[in-house]
């Protein structure tokens, strides 16, 4: 199981084929100024000022995990969910912004609680999530 806050899939990893299906909860702010919800190049820069890399959009990332998990219905009961926060930026939902942080922080829900609610019923043994079955 994975949960990503502002964590769309790097395009360089999109063709990888994991050995097991993976449930995924993807949470992304529509106003994210560092990792755009629509994909493209990260706004973060590397040590020499270079762009860090291209990412898929939130929708493309969710679609890729659904493809990996062979939806519908998903291998071994896996699930993929994508949540868009219209008022959220590159931040952790439900927490106050830190000093000097300029990205908007959504208070729609607490990301940690939402991740736990998603994960608990999806604690599926690895043997049931093998993709070579």
pLDDT digits (tens, 9 = 90+) for 32-79: 998 899 999 877 778 888 877 899 999 999 999 999 999 998 899 999
Considering only CA atoms, which of 124, 111, 107, 129 is closest in space to residue 26?
Answer: 111
Domain housing 45:
2-129
Which residues are within 8 A (CB) of 126 and not within 5 positions of it... i.e. 6 or more apart? 20
pLDDT at site 122: 92
State how many domains the chain has. Answer: 1
Considering only CA atoms, which of 85, 74, 102 is closest in space to residue 26?
Answer: 85
Tell me the residue ranges of DSSP E strands in 1-133.
Answer: 2-5, 24-29, 40-41, 54-55, 80-85
In which order are the strands placed within the sheet that holds 80-85? 2-5, 24-29, 80-85
pLDDT at site 121: 93
Phi, psi of 130 (to 5 degrees): -65, 135
Question: Side-chain half-sphere of 113: how many Cα atoms within 13 Å?
Answer: 7
Considering only CA atoms, which of 94, 74, 88 is closest in space to residue 22?
Answer: 74
pLDDT digits (tens, 9 = 90+) for 89-108: 999 999 999 899 999 999 99
């Amino acid at each position: 199981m994975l949960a990503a806050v502002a964590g769309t899939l790097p395009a360089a990893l999109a063709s990888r084929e994991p050995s097991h299906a993976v449930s995924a909860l993807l949470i992304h702010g529509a106003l994210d100024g560092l990792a755009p919800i629509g994909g493209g190049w990260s706004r973060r820069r590397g040590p020499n000022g270079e762009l860090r890399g291209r990412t898929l959009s939130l929708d493309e990332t969710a679609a890729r995990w659904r493809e990996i998990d062979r939806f519908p219905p998903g291998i071994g009961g896996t699930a993929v969910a994508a949540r868009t926060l219209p008022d959220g930026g590159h931040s952790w939902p439900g927490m106050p912004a830190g000093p000097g942080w300029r990205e908007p922080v959504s208070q729609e829900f607490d990301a940690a609680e939402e991740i736990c609610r998603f994960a608990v019923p999806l604690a599926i043994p690895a043997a049931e999530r093998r993709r070579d079955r």
